[in-house]
Homo-oligomer: A and B are copies of this chain.
Amino acid sequence: MKAFDTAETSFDSHTHDHRRCVRSALQTAEALCQQHGVRLTALRRRVLELVWTSHCPVGAYDLLEMLSKDQGRVAPPTVYRALEFLLANGLIHRIESRNAFVGCPHPQEAHAGHFLICRVCGAAAELSDPGIEATLDQRAGELGFFVEAKTVELRGLCKGCRARRPDGGEQSA
């Protein structure tokens, strides 16, 4: 396993060509589902696309509303079931501290999703780091705890937002 992060693409949502992110995510998803023998139906595909509308975690009821624009009226189970599928297949992650969902940029690789979440722009960048994994596993192991799932969510200010308005920034007092 090697380290990666999506800070660059996630935190400059307004400058990069996000349509490429979406297209890429959908293509990868298609391929992966094919490969795993599961069905990325039109609905699931559409929900994945909607989740990918930005790099900000999006709530289930936001998705519901967006979906309603296409289809007529949509009920909660519709979107929750799609989300469940996408989660199960590693195509999205759930952000616990926000009750929201965000697209996974590298669903091919097995990984726990660790996130940096900016309180100003709202974007979430995923990061994976063998160092973090190892440190957490080791510490848990010392205590006899067997880790099955990890939630790591760091909230604060992204680079861009710190530059734009340095409220509560790093170097203050």
Residues of A within 8 A of B (CB): 5, 7, 96-97, 116, 118-119, 125, 127, 129, 131-132, 135-136, 139-140, 143-159, 162, 168-170
Contact = CB atoms under 8 A, between A and B. Distances in A.
A151 B5 contact: no
B96 A143 contact: no
A135 B140 CA distance: 15
5 contacts: A96-B96, A116-B145, A116-B147, A150-B152, A151-B151
Contacts of A148: 119, 155-157, 168
Q: Number of copies of this chain in the oligomer?
A: 2
B147 A155 contact: yes
Contacts of A149: 154-156
A167 to B, nearest CB: 11
A151 B155 CA distance: 8
A85 to B, nearest CB: 20
A136 B118 CA distance: 15
Given A96-B96, A97-B151, A135-B135, A143 B169 contact: no
A150 B152 CA distance: 7
A147 B97 CA distance: 15
B152 A152 contact: yes
Given A127-B139, A152-B151, A144 B132 contact: no
